[in-house]
Amino acid sequence: MGQDTTGRTGQSPLGPSDAFTLNMERDPTLRSTIVAVWWLDQAPAWDRFEARLAHAVDAIGSFRARLRLPANGLGVPQWVPDPSFELSRHLERVGVPPPYTRQVVIDQARRGAAATFDPVHPLWHMTLMEGLDDGSAALVMRLHHALTDGMGAMALLTELFDVSPDVDATPIPADVVPDAGRGWWAPMEGTARWLAAAVPATVQALVHPARTVSEVVDTVRSLGRTVTPVVHRLSPVLSERGLRRHLEMLAVDLGDLKRAAKAADGTVNDAFLAAVTGGLRRYHHCHGAAVEELRVTLPISLRTDRDPAGGNHIGLERFALPVADPDVRERPADLGAGTEVGARAVS
Nearest Cα to Cα of residue 7 among 184, 182, 189, 187: 182
Q: Check pLDDT > 80 for residue 110.
A: yes
This prediction's pTM: 0.71
Please provide residue 128's backbone torsions phi and psi, each rounded to the nearest 5 degrees: -90, 120
Tell me, what's the pLDDT at 186?
A: 36
Chain mean position to CA 106: 18
Please provide residue 141's backbone torsions phi and psi, each rounded to the nearest 5 degrees: -110, 130
Q: What is the pLDDT of residues 279-302, one digit of tens each?
A: 999 999 999 998 998 888 777 888
* Class of domain 12-181 as given by CATH: alpha beta
Enter the DSSP assignment of 237.
S
Highest mean pLDDT range out of 68-82, 92-106, 113-127?
Answer: 92-106
Helices (H), 35-101: 46-59, 87-90
Strands (E), 41-123: 65-68, 78-81, 91-95
Q: Check pLDDT > 90 for residue 16.
A: no
Please provide residue 249's backbone torsions phi and psi, each rounded to the nearest 5 degrees: -120, 130
My answer on whether omega of the bond before 99 falls inside 30° of 0, hence cis, is yes
In the annotation, is 232 catalytic?
no
Torsional sign, CA 86, 56, 306, 32: negative
Mean pLDDT of 318-347: 63
Residue 144, burial from CB neighbour count under 10 angstroms (0-12, 13-18, 19+): buried
pLDDT bracket for residue 339 (50, 70, 90): low
Q: What is the pLDDT of residues 145-201, one digit of tens each?
A: 888 888 888 878 777 877 666 555 444 444 333 333 333 333 334 434 433 444 444
Higher pLDDT, 274 or 167: 274
Tell me, what's the pLDDT at 322?
A: 85
Residues of the chain with CATH 3.30.559.10: 12-181
Among residues 144, 145, 284, 313, which one is catalytic?
A: 145
CB 44 within 8 Å of CB 163: no
Distance (Å, rounded) from C-alpha 329 to C-alpha 208? Answer: 34
Residue 146, burial from CB neighbour count under 10 angstroms (0-12, 13-18, 19+): buried
Higher pLDDT, 102 or 305: 102
C-alpha dist (Å) from residue 180 to 23, 60, 79, 91, 250:
18, 6, 10, 21, 32
Distance (Å, rounded) from C-alpha 186 to C-alpha 11? Answer: 13
